[in-house]
Amino acid sequence: MDKKVRVRFAPSPTGGLHLGGVRTVLFNYLFAKHFGGDFILRIEDTDQTRFVEGAEDYIFECLKWCGLTPDESPLHGGPYAPYRQSERKEIYRQYAEQLLKDGHAYYAFDTPEELDAKRKEIPNFQYNHQHRLALRNSVSLTETETAKLLEKNVPYVIRIKMPDNEEVRFTDMIRGEVNFHSSQTDDKVLLKADGMPTYHLAVVVDDYLMKITHAFRGEEWLPSAPVHVLLWKYLFGLENMPHWAHLPLILKPDGNGKLSKRDGDRLGFPVFAMNWTDPRTNDFAQGFRERGFLPEAFVNMLAVLGWNDGSEQEIFTMTELIQKFSMDRVHKGGAKFDYEKAKWFNHEWIKRLPVSSLLLPVKRLFEEQGIAIDDEEMFAKVLELVKDRCTLLPDFVQQASFFFKLPETIDIASIKPKWDDKKNQFFMELIRAYELTTLWQHDELEKELKEMAAAHQIKSGELMAPFRIMLVGGKFGPGVFDIAEIIGREETIARIKHTLQLVNL
């Protein structure tokens, strides 16, 4: 590649960032970094009616959490600022005017109401070569009529004049050669009545001005690609056009169709990267982050949804992804999102990440549950012990809170039916034995219990369940003797005594 690779992610700040959006960012980022290029974040906020307070900050926060930091953005600045399209409003008009001058665009004076009426009246109505002569625009009107309307400040839009008969083709990095016939696309609005550009104009002007070399976006954009290709041809030359790639969609797990927030609500999994509350409706959606996903896992899971490196490897660090990513290994077909698999990735990452990097987020979760952690060293030991059985971060609280406080409930009902004097005697004696144990260490504790069981002629298996319940409150958690070792002599004995009292009531 001769030019420095420059890619952009261009979201509109209208709500939370969903899986598909994050994956688009990710593929952009990986591609750019693979080639040592730049990753630009551009905010496409040309529709003022859809602007949502806080959405832009949310996007930055998401990218930060995922570790996908832009090289240039409204926040980070850069040589092609401003990076917010609303602040670039004046720039677009001159290009619209150039198109006008060259006969590739025209003024249209039809009101939205008139067009609505047309759509009702004529089936499959399109503002195109077939109908534009019958509408109010600078093609159908004489020059003086047009001039008069403009002079009277009659609101207008500028539309592209799609050629009636032209093959529009381009090469998509994922799909190969793609063809469209120009007559199939209508005369898209380029500049709105409020003077703002539509996406179609803004995207090509900004990609040109910001020297974008590769443009990746969701597959839903494919049908409007011919408009963009034509604009490139008219304005900047096809030879300067970025290479396109239209990414496959992320589909809902059941049935078909694009994954939406509703599917997440319905099926019980997040769809947004982080918590998002719509400020207008107060509609809340939980994010992957708050659900207890690690950013490493979230990114990994997204990367292999529609891409793989051809090997059997599934777990990738960001560094490996950057090294191995290539657009020609991206799948063409959409992929159904599988939440179970997503959790598996998190589980894998919890298992392989050193405890040191889990410490902080998990500690926070404990504290949120009112469990203070003062002994960091013990905390680390506990996490190491339980991490194999934690899929999501909050599982740590469930799996390990009993290390730091008395179990909230003790499953007496499971002990009682098989409880007898013999066992009671046994545990009384175990307490005495444990009081004297010199080496408080799990092997030693296990040995003592088993020897004593033999002496009492009780199968040690019958003792394990009650002992576990005494220490953790239920039938779960890591090895009992490991637990005893960590919580210590005093606490172990106290818990045995406590349960003994309850059982003997």
Partner RNA sequence: GGAGCGUUGGUCAAGGGGUUAAGACACCUCCCUUUCACGGAGGAAUCACGGGUUCGAUUCCCGUACGCUCUACCA
- Which residues, 126 to 145, sit near RNA by CB under 7 A? 126-127
Q: Does position 477 bind RNA by CB under 7 A?
A: yes
* Residue closer to RNA (CB basis): 194 or 283: 194
* Residue closer to RNA (CB basis): 36 or 195: 195
Q: Where are the alpha helices (DSSP H) in 353-459?
A: 355-368, 376-386, 395-400, 412-415, 421-436, 442-455
| Strand ranges (E), 117-255 | 157-160, 167-172, 176-181, 189-191, 214-218, 243-247, 250-251
Contact pick of 468, 485, 487, 495 for RNA (by CB under 7 A) = 468
Q: Residue 261 CB, nearest distance to RNA (Å)?
A: 14
Upstream peptide bond of 82 is cis (omega within 30 degrees of 0): yes
Which listed residue (89, 118, 211, 261) is catalytic? 261
Is 381 tagged catalytic? no
Task: Report 41-60 residues binding RNA (CB under 7 A).
Answer: 44, 46-47, 50
Mapping DSSP to helix (H, G, I), strand (E, B) and coil, where does residue 305 land?
coil
- Number of residues located near RNA, criterion CB under 7 A: 81
Question: How far is the C-alpha of 415 from the C-alpha of 464, rounded, in Å?
Answer: 11
Helical packing angle, 421-436 and 460-472, nearest 10°: 70
Contact pick of 475, 488, 490, 502 for RNA (by CB under 7 A) = 475
* Residue closer to RNA (CB basis): 145 or 367: 145
On the CB side of 47, CA atoms within 13 Å amount to 12
Could you give the string, one character per residue 297-336, with x where binding to RNA holds by CB under 7 A and - elsewhere?
A: -------xxx-x-x-x-x--------------x-xxxxxx
Task: Report 331-370 residues binding RNA (CB under 7 A).
Answer: 331-336, 338, 340-341, 344, 347, 351
Q: Does position 220 bind RNA by CB under 7 A?
A: yes
**Comparing C-alpha atoms, which of 183, 307, 182, 161 is closest to residue 245?**
307
Q: Does position 275 bind RNA by CB under 7 A?
A: no
What one-character DSSP code corresponds to residue 299? H
β-partners of residue 8 are: 40
β-partners of residue 41 are: 9
Q: Does position 11 bind RNA by CB under 7 A?
A: yes
* Residue closer to RNA (CB basis): 372 or 455: 455
**Comparing C-alpha atoms, which of 440, 450, 453, 428 is closest to residue 484?**
440
Q: Does position 189 bind RNA by CB under 7 A?
A: yes
Q: Does position 392 bind RNA by CB under 7 A?
A: no
Stretch that binds RNA, among 30-38, 272-280, 367-375, 475-483 (CB under 7 A): 475-483
| Strand ranges (E), 208-252 | 214-218, 243-247, 250-251
Q: Residue 405 CB, nearest distance to RNA (Å)?
A: 19
- The phi and psi torsions of 108 (rounded to 5 degrees) equal -130, 130
Q: Residue 339 CB, nearest distance to RNA (Å)?
A: 9
Contact pick of 405, 416, 418, 450 for RNA (by CB under 7 A) = 450
* Residue closer to RNA (CB basis): 111 or 237: 111
CA 245 to chain centre: 20
Catalytic residues: 261
